[in-house]
Structure 1
């Protein structure tokens, strides 16, 4: 990649992160159904989720840009796009299942696949840039926490 070729990958990664965040936000409805769910005592306040996801998506965008910059060829960069696209789809799908379809039980099964998609993405990125891979650690940790919260919600409220 030519020197100074950061603009396109940074703008693309930022736009993709914004799109995934916006779609996930559109799927998220914390209305009466959600507020009526029994939640574990350790659940963070609802206002914390927006800033947490914003920070996570910023790290993910930076991760994508760094990996893109360090990928050795076009095929590697296309593979990164496929993996990020799959991960973004799975991220939005979780919100759709949990909030729109009101199926935390289905979302619980799906969050395992989402978490694995982050792990695979980190593994592929590590081939090109350890830093890019490490930038996804907050995302991996947050999704693991979200999975535990999802499990507790299913346990406290099921069956759905």
Structure 2
């Protein structure tokens, strides 16, 4: 299979687009790093410096997954449903930090994080029908959000 400049451009646009969504969410939420550093944390909480790096890698994988969905050779209806679910989960992801850190509504943020885990799991199932690697690339994201749900609940309880 020959890779074209158009395909590479689309891949880069998907990755940068998803990374920008994550960056904008963090920027709009305020001083997340400072707030996180000041919080009483539950056991197994990672250092704040790790969290940003983890998100950069996850957003990269999420962007590649989007590219694979867009370019998949699958039924149009399945692709449309997968891309719609992708957009919905990304919106929930975007809103989470605004609510948890920016709005300081930690319990609502914790519930939203659990809902996001459910959306990601549903995405994996649906993406599997469209493009198997798009689904597989969401597995680290799902695992991180499950851990983030634990952290969100722990932070809400302790703060």
**TM-score (norm: length of structure 2):** 0.86
1:120 matched to which residue of 2? 122
Aligned counterparts of 1:20 and 1:71: Cα–Cα separation in 2: 26
**Alpha-carbon distance in structure 2 between the residues aligned to 1:113 and 1:75:** 24
After superposition, the CA RMSD in angstroms is 2.2
**Is it true that 1:111 corresponds to 2:117 in the alignment?**
no
1:136 deviation in Å? 0.6
Tell me, which stretches of 5 or more residues in structure 2 are unaligned? Answer: none
Q: Unaligned stretches of 5+ in structure 1? A: none
Q: Give TM-score, length-normalised by structure 1.
A: 0.85
Please give the residue correspondences for 1:126-145 in structure 2 after superposition, counting only pairs within 5 Å. 126-145=128-147
User: In the TM superposition, what whole-angstrom CA distance separates every residue of 1:102-152 from its partner, at most 9, and x where no partner exists?
Assistant: 111110111111111111211111002222101111100000000001111
- For the residues of structure 1 that align with 2:156 and 2:46, how far apart are their CA atoms? 17
Change (3 A) 1:155 1:82: same
Aligned length: 156
Cα distance in 2 between the residues matched to 1:77 and 1:8: 20
Q: What's the counterpart of residue 23 of structure 1?
A: 24
Q: Distance in 1 between matches of 2:107 and 2:157?
A: 9
